[in-house]
Structure 1
Amino acid sequence: MPLRVIVNADDFGLDDEVNAVIVRAFQTGLISSATLMANMPAFEAACELAQQPTLAGRIGLHVNLTYGLPLSRAIRAERRLCDAQGGFDLQLRQRTLRLSPSEREAVRQELDAQWQRCLAHGVRPSHLDSHQHVHNIWPVGDVVARFAREQGVPVRLARNIGANIGPLKRVFKTLLNRRLKQLCAVTADHVCTPLDLKHGLAPSHGVLEVVAHPSALDRHDFGDAYLPPGESLVQLLDQHLSGVERVGYAGLGDR
């Protein structure tokens, strides 16, 4: 299979500035999808913007367990997940292998609350990923993947392309991604950041998802949080993915 690429912008709904950048990135064809934060201040505005033809069907849920206030109640009592005031304060290590039954149920309820808020505002998420990659924590990923399967949508794999992925991390990511694939459909075969592309690590086949956090450089260009200040995301994608088909998630759900 020749290489195809999904460029997904995380953090839609974070604030008005992020919303404006993401909409413009859609309009220029820079990105092919975005993921929505259901508990952030600009969420409702993002849902209105998501009705535009350019965005329709290309908006997923950016599962958030680390920033702001939860939308459900049970998770607020879990001290490894929230602080004493009920705000998100995730205390799970990256290599955590187990959640207690009450923690697991609380994560499930919060995930459902975020999903339902999207539906209530006219957006049915096309896919799932997570803020600060929390579904790369094994037991959280298990909950997210099972939920994705129930909803019939794919989930993002753990980043599996990068110069800084050492042998032990590679083994962990391989096992985690294998587990995610057992539980649900996935968005792509390969996952990387713009910085990984800069290092010349683009694969030659399959579907690649580029995890982007675009920012405005000027009216016609974009930077990215993963790149040095002032460096062009547009030029980077043109340089390393020239001629590669840019796709969304339509038709990829049965992968």
Structure 2
Amino acid sequence: MANGFVLCADDFALTDGISRSILELLDLGKLSATGAMTNRPHWRRLARELGAFSGRADLGLHFNLTCAAPLGPMPKLAPGGTFPALGQVMRTAVLSGAIRREIAAELARQLDAFEDALGRAPDFIDGHQHVHALPGVRRAVLDLLARRYPAGAVYVRDPADRSAAIRARGVAVGKALTISGLAAGFRSAALRRGLRLNRGFSGVAPFDPERDFAGDLKSFLLRPGAAHLVMCHPGFIDDELARLDPVVATRPIEHAAIAAFEPPPSLPMRRLRDLL
């Protein structure tokens, strides 16, 4: 039985417009978590403003292997200094131990950047395009987290959910089932290493500006897990966003819907650490 849910905005620091949107929603009390892309140049400048929400919201690392540039050299995965597309990361991480070692080193750098800016460990780890949970990447991620932090100190996002719950919500069903399939085995691997995870996940969206996101947001709370996490992607559009990310037009729509959203009293919004 669910006793609350987390509403987590992805992509903090990807652009200034996204970051300002998330900071505004945090200040309104409309989000209970956000994940930061610490490889982005905006991170250091905006970290203090985000850090003001410590204790009010879960602040985590949104581990990035597919957008813009790594923080250090990755001659196998990113020989030109720019991350490849998701498909290439998936293929090469499975096949190459050298690339998995590069991934572990880049994760350490992104974690260092979070800790250097906020003076503490992140509350959680997840991944841009769910890269942290993919076969080939997950072992590098989970092994490093288990070595770096005491058991239970951070949680990791499980982007999978029960197929019956996904179908009942009726939003981007095929996409959500595909993500769940790619993440198969991630939960058990994390638990074996003493890591905590959410129980229940939704928020996979078609990124269609013609859809009623306010209605989808309510659907994401159907059939919640016991420690349910809802992903979202609010933001304000700027020129940088259009250059970096395919998800553009729906971000201000999500922002407006989240700003107006009132969760049901039977399912209050909380931090995940309060649900685990």
**Going by fraction, where is helix more abundant, 1 or 2?**
2
SS in structure 2 of the partner of residue 59 of structure 1: strand
Cα distance in 2 for residues equivalent to 1:225 and 1:183: 37
Amino acid at match of 1:121: A
| Separation in 1, partners of 2:251, 2:113 | 35
Matched with 2:82 is 87
Whole-Å separation in 2 of the counterparts to 1:249 and 1:169: 21
- Separation of aligned partners in 1, 2:117 and 2:11: 17
1:143-170 CA distances to partner (integer Å, 9 max, x unpaired)? 2122232323111012325322687875
Aligned counterpart for 2:198 among listed residues 172, 188, 204: 188
What is the TM-score with the length of structure 2 in the denominator? 0.73
8 A contact 2:2–2:228 mirrored in 1: no
- Aligned equivalent of 1:221: none
- TM-score if structure 1 supplies the norm length? 0.79
Code of the residue aligned with 1:126 in structure 2: it is D
Gaps of 5+ in 1: 218-223
Which of 201, 225, 235 is the matching residue for 1:215? Answer: 235
Q: Is the 8 A contact 1:8 1:32 kept in 2?
A: yes
Contact 2:124-2:155 within 8 A present in 1 as well? yes
Tell me the secondary structure at the aligned position of residue 158 of structure 1: coil
Q: 1:11 to 1:170 in 2, by over 3 A?
A: closer
Q: How does 1:1-255 map to 2 (within 5 A)?
A: 1-53=1-53, 58-73=58-73, 75=74, 77-78=75-76, 81-82=77-78, 84-90=79-85, 91-92=87-88, 94=90, 98-123=94-119, 124-150=121-147, 151=149, 152-160=153-161, 162=166, 163-164=173-174, 172-193=182-203, 195=205, 197=217, 199=219, 202-215=222-235, 230=253, 232-234=256-258, 237-238=261-262, 241-243=263-265, 244-251=267-274, 255=276
**CA shift in 2, pair 1:55/1:21, >3 Å:** farther
**What one-letter code is carried by the residue in structure 2 that aligns with 1:146?**
D
Matching residue of 1:220: none
Structure 1 residues 106 and 54: alpha-carbon distance in aligned structure 2, compared to 1, 3 A threshold = closer
User: 1:242: how far off?
Assistant: 1.1
Query: Can you give the 5+ residue segments of structure 2 that lack an aligned partner in the other structure?
Result: 167-172, 206-215, 238-246
Q: 1:126 Cα deviation (Å)?
A: 0.9
User: Helix, strand or coil for the counterpart of 2:62?
Assistant: strand
Using the TM superposition, give the Cα deviation of residue 190 of structure 1 relative to its aligned residue in structure 2, in angstroms.
0.9
Report the Cα offset of residue 44 of structure 1: 1.1
Q: For this pair of structures, how many residues does the alignment match?
A: 240
Work out the percentage of aligned pairs sharing the same amino acid.
Answer: 22
